[in-house]
Chain A
Amino acid sequence: MATRLQFENSCEIGAFSKLTNAYCLTAIGGSENFYSAFEAELADVIPVVKTSIGGTRLVGFLSVGNKNGLLLPHTTTDQELQHLRNSLPDQVVVQRIEEKLSALGNCIACNDHVALAHTDLDKETEELLADVLGVEVFRQTVAGNVLSGSYCALSNRGGLVHPHTSIEDLDELSTLLQVPLVAGTVNRGSEAIAAGMVVNDWTAFCGSDTTATELSVIDNVFMLRGDTRPGDGFDGMRKSLLDSYK
């Protein structure tokens, strides 16, 4: 079931948080309500870590990660890097990368298996994505926008993309990503999907302006209907249910 919340009167919670299957990052500042909302849902299962990146609160826009690793921009300070390495589980590889497109969260959308990347991403970064995050990288635009990270929210079960994505693009992306995709909005008609929500395999958080319709679309496409638990074996079935061509 998706939860609605806000960060200091802003509904762009995807800017201030990062959610994966193995950890959750939140920004510092604002009231404790933001952090507590995440804690309430996730505390028993995965660590919720308060951090800044490069001294800013935009942890969602600047970083990209999944259960295997976390990539940070070159603006990340040494203290922040150390703090994250200490706080996250050992199997999560935390790495700072040199990439001129430093808002990694805006440029790359990923789940535990595939990633959609900005078309101008460095070759090196693409290789690091494949190595550290263990994903197959596809350079793709979403509804004509190069910032694939901003306009697409992805989990292992489904994805929500920019509302103006055409049917052909939806089919193509769905085949590439091997998950069901839906074109929709968040935060009462906002097209910047990833800015307005964060999602993992069993829960999602959306900005408080999100309407009930948008919330039900999110619940449907990400299969959050409440009868699922973390790691309930879908990953195991995945290989037998979906073909992938190498």
Chain B
Amino acid sequence: MRLLTHNMLSSNIKGVTNGFPLRIQVEKVVEKQVEINHDFLRNIFPKIDWKAFSDASRIMGYNELPEEPPEPSVLESDVEFLGKFHHALLELHLEEGALLCPETGRKFPVSKGIPNMLLLEDEV
């Protein structure tokens, strides 16, 4: 599970109002290189909740992202920053671990890089 995906997931438990972001519990992180695409990064940036993303990257063991979101102009010109953004967003994978609902603490397991968001009957 990439941090891009983590940034798009929220707790789907019935009644939960504050389900984002899910808290990451790391057991195994894997790095998989993928070609950088600057246009994609610029397009996706407005959709990213930066605080959730930069916090998550630190939990995954990557400390290069600023806590504060960059100015959009940084994305236009700062290639080094784009590289870090790309690496944290797309190249770090939570292979084994869990995502926790911030409100209930309920664990959604992540196994082989895949989160299991299936709910029990009483959670739907």
Q: Do A and B bind each other?
A: no
Which A residues have a C-beta under 8 Å from some C-beta of B? none
B residues whose Cβ falls under 8 Å from a Cβ of A: none
